[in-house]
Amino acid sequence: MKLQTQRWIDRWVGQVLCAAVSLWARLFCVKPYAGSAAAPKHILVILLSEMGSVVLAGPMFAALRQRYPQATVHVLQLKKNQEVAKLLGLARPEHLHSLDDSAGLGLLADIWRVSRAMRALPLDVVIDCELFSRISSLMSYLSGAALRVGFTPHTQEGLYRGSYINRAIPYNPYQHISMQFLSLVDAINDAAMPRNKAAPIRDLPTELGLSVDFDPAELQAYQQKMVADHPVVAGRQLVLLYAGGGLLPERAWPAAHYATVARGLCDAGFAVGLIGLREDAELAKRLRTDIASDQCVDLTGYTRSIRELLMLFHAAKLLITNDGGPGHFASLTPIRTMVFFGPETGRLYGPLGPRAQILESGIACSPCLSAYNHRLTFCDGDNQCLKRLQPLPVLRQALQNLRSINTMVPI
């Protein structure tokens, strides 16, 4: 199903359904949830966002494991994103649940199937990590959990999600999303939060609480395969570029700027790999023509899984990327990253950890995408926030970052 169709259904049909469920809950749930002194035994986390959000939710999952070590954690994701949850071990395989959004009527049938399956579980708590999605809000109620934790617009106009979330946390557009996910965990055992301002003061997490273990022999074998498939990288440090925009093309730094940076890196003796999905192959082809260097290789579609992508990051020194999943996955590996933000901001969605550098222009209209406008920009493709980030300063910063990396051996 197209993204715009999903948004239309969620906005118009979703609001009607949320109102109907709210009325049902008010009429037939006589007593509001009063809380329980007992620690929850079964927790469902609903996380339907892009794959990169799973990495940003890492500290939240770590907090759940620390505070409720005896609890069984279930995770509900979109089917296309479930590979990440399995790789990161967010929950046992039998506790990972998926929702298939690839077809219209099929999605409705799958929502009903998943809701019945969730209701059959002995859930105590459901944590809805979506900002203003009505589908996830409705599924939190249909899960049957007595305690429902999620975001609320509070007194803000619009963005209605019903009134049945009984541990509602006001969404804060000025705080990093990882910290807001942690507030959802805080709310489980604090009925007054955040009305009494009892939320803890914390710094932005630097530890993800997530890891993917690789055997050194596995990484070495992958690097050898890289050299065999692309001999030009032998003896050279590898820099990866992700020039695609994914579902939101306005998040992409101009391709011509990427080409300028890539030429400079090749002239400095580095190998450049253009990464992306198979559908990014045409963009990579145009970039290689503009770069005009044998030291630039097309790696779009080369990695067949997220695990292989992480092994590729282990084999490289630096990733220069648009806002999206690759920048977040890179934080699970030793690679340094430079991430472009503009339509969205690194202050809210930047990768965690000390090896990520955020590149933003800070012009007046940036950021323009938010939960309040359904992530629809008004720039009509003319993303000046990114176009004004000139390539030569980026190239100088990339070379400086590479010079500071002196502990890793070239491939």
pLDDT digits 0-9 by tens, 104-113: 677 788 888 9
Q: Which residue has the higher pLDDT, 197 or 31?
A: 197
Residue pair 349/55 in contact by the 8 Å Cβ criterion: no
Mean pLDDT to the nearest integer, 379-403: 94
pLDDT at position 411 is: 45
Choosing among 3.40.50.2000, 3.90.1720.10, 3.40.1030.10, 3.50.50.60, the CATH entry for 3-189 is 3.40.50.2000
Taking alpha carbons only, the member of 55, 44, 27 closest to residue 149 is 44
The mean-pLDDT minimum among 3-17, 137-151, 228-242, 281-295 falls in 3-17
Encoding tokens for residue 187? 């709310």
Q: Which residue has the higher pLDDT, 408 or 368?
A: 368
The mean-pLDDT minimum among 173-187, 209-223, 320-334, 371-385 falls in 371-385
End-to-end Cα, the chain, rounded Å? 42
Distance CA 154, CA 173 (A): 13
Supply the CATH classification number for the domain 216-403. 3.40.50.2000
236 CA to centre of own chain: 31
Question: How many other β-carbons are positioned within 10 Å of the β-carbon of residue 245?
Answer: 20
Distance CA 379, CA 47 (A): 29
Distances in whole angstroms, Cα of residue 28 to Cα of each of 21, 116, 124, 279 = 10, 20, 19, 50
Distance CA 168, CA 261 (A): 46
pLDDT at position 94 is: 94
Residue pair 156/214 in contact by the 8 Å Cβ criterion: no
pLDDT digits (tens, 9 = 90+) for 138-181: 999 999 999 999 998 877 767 788 889 988 888 888 899 999 99
CA 56, 60, 66, 71 dihedral sign is: negative
Distance CA 175, CA 192 (A): 20
Domain boundaries, the chain: 3-189, 216-403
pLDDT at position 8 is: 78
372 CA to centre of own chain: 18
Residue pair 191/47 in contact by the 8 Å Cβ criterion: no
